[in-house]
Structure 1
């Protein structure tokens, strides 16, 4: 760990009765007193910066963001309880990864209920501040490094990078509507400092078929995405694995950098919900008629280790008798292949419930 340097005097976070995030529960006055004079060596991130979003947006559930890798060590007394609660574990084991698509043998039996499949991972570059803490200059440097790596990809991964600020409003809206591009504003990210200098240094890379995409400098340096119509999880995962390995190799060769990684926390992310594999695999599926309400469907999914969202993404709600976004909840404690098996087994159970129900 780098030497700890004193920061400017801080005030205890101004929580209100409306704040119910995990950060407020963990960061009491005594702990804050222990941490208030610390700041990270790379981005000068303080404990108040860590919880800034949770204070500013009362609906935050976790309420913490990391400005760089060191945050997870320097402020571990805050991050670790939140990580354990969110990921549902009493002890955080050493991370084990499996990005070999040949190891995935499970299949979705009833493909008719699945409209599309999407698999993504988040990654950050070692030695650079994460989006909540990075400067304008470093954001542009990360963008240059990533564009060089991405535009050298070949085969079905070959594509073009589009800077966010060069796209027209209609182009952006079309990509957002189809689920390819990130939204322009997110109140949680804005409060965390992620949207500084917007939209400079951000963009999207995608291949001709729009089945392989990379978001650059959104919540993390990279969000690597494989997606397509239908229920072929194996094909989607195979493309994702090939993309991750190809980008990793080019970063090492071209920029002598790699993905930020910790032997316990796995791949490091701005938001602790994405630690571990950093992977979220989801399907858009029709809610089986056997479920009387969206709440009943969501409850059953929860018992199967699955999350349910509306089809328009993270902040949208599932509607009655609609198409829902169903994904793995867990990111840590299991390999990528194991998490995919949980998702596939869960979807098969939902479809079986529909038949027997």
Structure 2
């Protein structure tokens, strides 16, 4: 399911709140109130996530998106702005521009404890794209629809840590997208990596007087209403043979508040959270961890020709 709309800048959520609030409530199933959504980056509060059955859990990915205060979202950014951002970033001139702040922030991150390098999208070769597990020669259909693919791949970039634990996308669908992928399906470690490095980048941006965009009623906001609140996505790839065919699967997924999509690989499914608004970061991650464990338990039951009705959770 798609929300079917994007915002050109953070102010759009205020000026057109009657529209965006209804979209957010319908998509996330959570009422927009005057209270700021709870935030929790204490990864030690997460229970489990490092103990998924590797017979079923193939890999995992934790990602988070952020917008930078005082700048239009990539959906509304002009070619001149984007080129100016990149030109000044490469020259490392001191100016109040997003890409410069990103470069400085990532340099700070690298200097402290996470070495890495910044690559321009237009300079990535096929081998580098395979390492990133993405085909970036052509923009996706969603990028074309939302307008972020204008002048592709002009002024887009990606920062990759030397150990491969963290990738930061720049000027794509959003100003920043941090991604931690693990082939051992260790959600706990991926979540920890995101929490630690996101908070460091947040501190650097605050020091540069351009913090991440946060609105009182919505929490963190970016171009898509589907990402407001936490901007957090937890994804696990599962090998499942029997459960996808079960008649109660959709009911189970609805009660667990997660989604399951097919991949190009037979019997491999992508499980992730639907909402990002309402629960805290730890709560969302816990929701996916618990949901994945239950799906695996159901799969093992079905393998032994056992019934799973008693495992179906009550409506949350």
Q: Where on the TM-score scale, by shorter chain, does this alignment land: which range?
A: 0.7 to 0.9
Match of 1:162 in 2: 119
- Are positions 1:174 and 2:130 aligned together? yes
Match of 1:197 in 2: 151
Query: Could you tell me how far 1:110 is from its partner in structure 2?
Result: 2.5
- TM-score, scaled relative to structure 2: 0.83
Q: Secondary structure at the match of 1:303?
A: helix
The answer as to whether partners of 1:84 and 1:90 remain within 8 angstroms in 2 is yes
Match of 1:353 in 2: 298
Match of 2:40 in 1: 98
The alpha-carbon distance between structure 1 residues 81 and 212, as it changes in their structure 2 partners (threshold 3 A), is same
Alignment partners' CA distance in 2, 1:292 and 1:233: 22
Q: CA RMSD in A?
A: 2.3
Alignment partners' CA distance in 1, 2:217 and 2:244: 41
Alignment partners' CA distance in 2, 1:323 and 1:336: 26
Q: Secondary structure at the match of 1:308?
A: strand
User: Which residue of the other structure, out of 237, 243, 259, is the alignment partner of 1:307?
Assistant: 259
Query: Could you tell me how far 1:157 is from its partner in structure 2?
Result: 2.6
Q: Where does structure 2 lack aligned partners over 5 or more consecutive residues?
A: 86-96, 303-316
- Are positions 1:142 and 2:83 aligned together? no
Describe the superposition over 1:54-96 as per-residue Cα deviations: whole angstroms up to 9, x where unpaired: xxxxxx8422110111100111121111111000124445211
- TM-score, scaled relative to structure 1: 0.74
Match of 2:219 in 1: 266
1:265-344 equivalences in 2 (<5 Å):
265-287=218-240, 289-291=241-243, 293=245, 297=249, 300-311=252-263, 322-344=267-289
Alignment partners' CA distance in 1, 2:59 and 2:247: 22
Query: Could you tell me how far 1:116 is from its partner in structure 2?
Result: 1.0
Query: Could you tell me how far 1:111 is from its partner in structure 2?
Result: 3.5
Describe the superposition over 1:165-213 as per-residue Cα deviations: whole angstroms up to 9, x where unpaired: 1223x1354245x25x767312332233212222122111111222200
- The count of aligned residue pairs is 286
Alignment partners' CA distance in 1, 2:219 and 2:282: 15
The answer as to whether partners of 1:117 and 1:227 remain within 8 angstroms in 2 is yes
Alignment partners' CA distance in 1, 2:120 and 2:47: 38
Alignment partners' CA distance in 2, 1:95 and 1:307: 22
Query: Could you tell me how far 1:262 is from its partner in structure 2?
Result: 0.8
The alpha-carbon distance between structure 1 residues 74 and 292, as it changes in their structure 2 partners (threshold 3 A), is closer
Alignment partners' CA distance in 2, 1:273 and 1:295: 28
Alignment partners' CA distance in 2, 1:256 and 1:233: 32
The answer as to whether partners of 2:129 and 2:136 remain within 8 angstroms in 1 is no
User: Which residue of the other structure, out of 65, 73, 82, is the alignment partner of 2:23?
Assistant: 82
The answer as to whether partners of 1:151 and 1:161 remain within 8 angstroms in 2 is no
Q: Secondary structure at the match of 2:58?
A: strand
Q: Which has the higher contact order (CA 8 A, sep 6+)?
A: 2
